[in-house]
Amino acid sequence: MTDHPSNDAPKAWSGRFSEPVSDLVKRYTASVYFDQRMAAQDIRGSLAHARMLARQGIIGAQDLADIESGLAQIAGEIERGEFAWSLDDEDVHLNIEKRLTALVGDAGKRLHTGRSRNDQVATDIRLWLRDAIDQILELIGQFQHNLLDVAEAHADTALPGFTHLQVAQPVTFGHHLMAYHEMLRRDAERFVDCRRRTNRLPLGSAALAGTSFPIDRESVAHELGFDEVCYNSLDAVSDRDFAIEFCAASALLMTHLSRLSEELIVWMSPRVGFIDLADRFCTGSSIMPQKKNPDVPELVRGKTGRTNGNLIALLTLMKGQPLAYNKDNQEDKEPLFDTADTVIDTLRIYADMVTGIRVKADAMKSALTQGFATATDLADYLVKKGLPFRDAHEAVALAVRAAELKGCDLPECTLDELRIAMAHVPGAVERLGEDVFSVLTVEGSLASRKHIGGTAPEQVRRAIAAARARLQG
């Protein structure tokens, strides 16, 4: 941005005031250094507004031609980095309007007929956010596709499932990754829903009360691709619900990615050793030559706090505002922009990073020999033989205690040892047979959970196929 020194050009509103704004106030109140990123959306909105004004006979055909020509030149200057942004002109809207007036004269001054910066900025933000949501939805889809590829490759790879960070039951690595696919699926649904409420046109609401000019808001909405107009002028210029919704959806998405990041970090630790990450996502130590640090997942964890903070900032920004527009709302853009940038960058890098996971299947399976992962399978076996579940639970708990004392896993106990351990539970011993060992294997445990949503490899593959069909549909 080029900051020009203060000049004598009158402000868009300066007729009301007896002295100029101080340079300190200019710097404090200006937003052009961050809202200039909405320039393309501002020009799109202005073009649609100008065409509507011409159709309604509010401005002439020559004015429209001049406005279209001038805005096209400005768009090119911005795209080429030749546009001179000025702090004196406060924001993206006045910078573009001043340049337009310099290029085409009075036609540029007529562009603002029937609108205010209040409904103009509300329109620009919605256009910008709609574009950001579309990009995020595309990136979620790419991430899901890559996640499905890894999940399918490991639909049979056994992994300890944990609760309370204690070994619970066997699952597969593919099934585990599909849990995150489901989270991403809900995330995408939330962004789609947020987009629907974002895609409503405020333009035409003017400052807060509408305009006395015979405008056609529906035609502008159609040209700009909005689903409908905002139906109350007061609400239209002051509503930031859509931005808060977006930040809430983003915070949830980042929370999901933070959870996955935490698991990647733990799994990559040599004390666990379930996976390794490709070198391009890791860094070393300035002092310890052996180190390979999972910096990207760690930063995702950290940036999740940032997106959560942006959500709270917007909620706090809006909580005390009376209708309608207040200058407070200028503070909506930086948290919103930062959240969108963070989410987009994180999704882009995660879509690549998931393809760089190297699975150490032997370490995963070895970990299943710790923690009595098939204890529930033994209880289910007894229940299927007719023992009430609570009795089966007690019998297996006694067997686990005996195995723990012996220093072995349940499948390593003999049938006699299991029977001795369960002898205090009536009906348990006589229900134990040699077939019990088939259910105590990891493979048997996985295969038995073959219902929808279960971790049986065949069900994991069906879930992956269904997910691919949804993404292609």
Q: Spell out the residues 6+ positions from residue 232 whose beta carbon is closer than 8 angstroms to its own.
A: none
Q: How far apart are CA 283 and CA 294, in angstroms?
A: 7
Look up residue 135 and give its two tokens: 């990009």
φ, ψ dihedrals at 281, nearest 5° = -105, 10
Q: How far apart are CA 72 and CA 210, in angstroms?
A: 28
Alpha helices in 36-91 (DSSP H): 39-55, 61-79
Q: Spell out the residues 6+ positions from residue 117 whose beta carbon is closer than 8 angstroms to its own.
A: 91, 93, 94
φ, ψ dihedrals at 158, nearest 5° = -75, 140
Alpha helices in 154-239 (DSSP H): 173-198, 217-224, 233-238
Q: How far apart are CA 473 and CA 471, in angstroms?
A: 5
The answer to whether 325 touches 317, Cβ cutoff 8 Å, is no
Can you give the pLDDT at residue 367? 95
Q: Which residue, 37, 30, 3, is CA-closest to 90?
A: 30
Which amino acid makes up residue 401?
R
Residues of the chain with CATH 1.10.275.10: 22-113
What's the CATH superfamily of 368-472? Fumarase/aspartase (C-terminal domain) (1.10.40.30)
For residue 49, the number of C-alpha atoms closer than 13 Å in the C-beta half-sphere is 28
Strand partners for 163: 166
Q: Kindly calculate the radius of gyration of the chain based on its CA atoms and give it in whole angstroms.
A: 31
6 is catalytic: no
Q: How far apart are CA 277 and CA 127, in angstroms?
A: 38
Give the 3-state secondary structure percentages of the chain, helix then strand then coil, rounded to 5. 65, 5, 30
Can you give the pLDDT at residue 473? 82
Kind plus residue range of the DSSP H or E element containing 418? helix 415-421
145 is catalytic: no
Residue 182 has a CB neighbour count (10 Å cut-off) of 13
DSSP 89: G
Can you give the pLDDT at residue 414? 96
- From the number of C-beta atoms within 10 Å of its C-beta (0-12, 13-18, 19+), residue 208 rates as middle
Q: How far apart are CA 337 and CA 455, in angstroms?
A: 40
Q: How far apart are CA 49 and CA 213, in angstroms?
A: 12
| Greatest CA separation for the chain | 100
Sequential DSSP letters for 295-342: HHHHHHHHHHHHHHHHHHHHHHHHTTPPSS--GGGGGGHHHHHHHHHH
Long-range contacts of 445-454 (CB under 8 A, 24+ apart): 445/169, 445/170, 445/373, 445/374, 445/377, 446/158, 446/170, 446/171, 446/172, 448/377, 448/380
- From the number of C-beta atoms within 10 Å of its C-beta (0-12, 13-18, 19+), residue 372 rates as buried
Can you give the pLDDT at residue 11? 60
φ, ψ dihedrals at 154, nearest 5° = -125, 35
The phi-psi region of residue 408 (left if phi > 0; otherwise alpha if psi is between -120 and 50; otherwise beta) is beta
**Of 14, 22, 269, 285, which is the active-site residue?**
285
**Of 164, 212, 286, 451, which is the active-site residue?**
164
SS3 for 65? helix
Residue 18 has a CB neighbour count (10 Å cut-off) of 5
Would you tell me which CATH number, out of the four given (3.90.226.10, 3.30.230.10, 1.20.200.10, 3.40.50.1100), belongs to the domain 118-154+165-366? Answer: 1.20.200.10
Residues of the chain with CATH 1.10.40.30: 368-472
Can you give the pLDDT at residue 16? 62
So what CATH class is 22-113? mainly alpha
Can you give the pLDDT at residue 26? 77
Residues of the chain with CATH 1.20.200.10: 118-154+165-366
Q: Spell out the residues 6+ positions from residue 391 whose beta carbon is closer than 8 angstroms to its own.
A: 382, 425, 426, 427, 428
Residue reference for tokens 């002092």: 287
Q: How far apart are CA 263 and CA 159, in angstroms?
A: 13
Strand partners for 291: none
Look up residue 214 and give its two tokens: 């015979």
pTM for the full predicted model: 0.93
* pLDDT tens-place values along the chain, 473 residues long: 444 334 455 565 555 666 777 788 878 878 998 999 999 999 999 999 999 999 999 999 999 999 999 999 999 999 999 999 999 999 999 999 999 999 999 999 999 999 999 999 999 999 999 999 999 999 999 999 999 999 999 999 999 999 999 999 999 999 999 999 999 999 999 999 999 999 999 999 999 999 999 999 999 999 999 999 999 999 999 999 999 999 999 999 999 999 999 999 999 999 999 999 999 999 998 999 899 999 999 999 999 999 999 999 999 999 999 999 999 999 999 999 999 999 999 999 999 999 999 999 999 999 999 999 999 999 999 999 999 999 999 999 999 999 999 999 999 999 999 999 999 999 999 999 999 999 999 999 999 999 999 999 999 999 999 999 999 98
Angle at alpha carbon of residue 325, lines to 119 and 19, rounded to 5°: 100
Can you give the pLDDT at residue 7? 47
Query: For residue 441, how far is the Cα from the chain centroid?
Result: 39
